[in-house]
Amino acid sequence: MFLRPYWYVACASAQLGAAPRAARVLDQDIVVFRGDGGRPRALADRCCHRGVKLSLGRVTGGELACGYHGWRFDGGGACVHIPSLAPGRRIPERCGVPAFPCVEQDGYVWVWLGGGEGAPPPAPSIDGFAAHRWDQGSVEHQCAALKGLENNLDWCHPVFAHPWTHGQFYIALLRGLREQLLEMRVTPDGMTLRGPVREDGGAPGGRSTETLLSFTLPDRVEVRSLGGPSRRIVLHFVPTAPDRCRMEWLVARALPFGPRVRFRRDEPAILRQDRLLLESAERTAAEHGALGEHHVEADAPTLLLRRIVGWAARGEWEQRRASLPERRVVRVVS
């Protein structure tokens, strides 16, 4: 059900200081900590002595010491010290905990839980990360990651879901709802949705509010404004359980002042508006089962995203991609 052979955000770089940190990713409890030279490391969050969470321990000399009896583990998960052992006694054979590939890049600590032979591919970079200053945050969602992803390719919801927080709400307030054309495209690792466009795909002209939304497997959506003031949002919906996820958000600040990344503990109103709606839909599904959905043309981007994720989960994305039209224009009112 999870898309395993991918890198996932374990936490923001700003959240990983001197103490170890628990992170749930793909229904697994992991602990991340800064090992030798501050390099992030990821281990299973379960001490091999008596099962206590290693995230309750502390980091000493680049090693992670369990908070119960002080057994120490290196960045590769090997147990390297047991304080209770008398001189001359040896650490048991193969004593240790599973370790996972872990890297730090573009404001995040990434972990690979996909297994496989050899080294995993390079962690995904965030295009243009160094060119902006960002606000960053992390919000637990009581809904499946797929719901969060779908929501961000759902062009027609902001007018209703985001009163006073979203540009589309204000535009509709001033001009009323209008017919618009949107362009969906399939990409090698996901899809894009651009709008509003002309029938031939060109920009609409005038004072453009053209926006490009993109989905990249397994869990990233990005929002970019193509005309008007530059706007850049990067979201990751990290699955923490089949019906839970953690949204890691990055929003480029308009003014080029302050630190490169500023971590915020609050939940911006616009994100909270989405979360409450998505959690409501998740509860409905849990209480009443799949009642079915009715779809209209405006749901085409959401349904395409759902299909891409489904194929990727079954390992069929590469071969099925060719069956999709590369481009499709969708007509909506928004």
Judged by the rule CB under 6 A, the positions of this chain that interact with ligand FES are: 47, 49-50, 52, 66, 68-71
Least Å from the CB of residue 48 to ligand FES: 8
Nearer to ligand FES, 69 or 327 (CB): 69
Determine, following the binding rule CB under 5 A, whether residue 274 of this chain makes contact with Fe ion: yes
The tokens describing 193, both together, are: 């949705």
Q: How far is the CB of 33 from Fe ion (least distance, A)?
A: 35
The residue among 49 and 306 lying less far from ligand FES, judged by its C-beta, is 49
Nearer to Fe ion, 46 or 157 (CB): 157
Residue (81 or 306) nearer to ligand FES, CB: 81
Q: Min. distance of Cβ 296 from Fe ion in angstroms?
A: 18
At closest approach, how far in Å is the CB of 165 from Fe ion? Answer: 9
Give Cα separations from 65 to 56, 81, 165, 273 (angstroms). 9, 9, 45, 41
Binding partner selected for residue 295 from ligand FES, Fe ion, none, CB under the kind-specific 5 to 8 Å limit: none
Binding partner of residue 144 among Fe ion, ligand FES, none, CB cut-off 5 to 8 Å per kind: none
**Pairing, β 211-216 against β 58-60:** unpaired
Exposure pattern of 97-116 as b/e (b: 16+ CB <10 Å)?
A: bebbbbbbebbbbbbbbbee
Quote the CA–CA distance of 103 and 121 in Å, as a whole number.
Answer: 11
In angstroms, rounded to a whole number, what is the distance separating the alpha carbons of residues 86 and 91?
10
Residue 150, interface with Fe ion (CB under 5 A)? Answer: no
Closest to ligand FES by CB, 68 vs 263, is: 68
Separation of alpha carbons 185 and 328, rounded Å: 7
CA 115, CA 65: separation in Å to the nearest integer? 25
Residues forming contacts to Fe ion in the complex (CB under 5 A) are 274
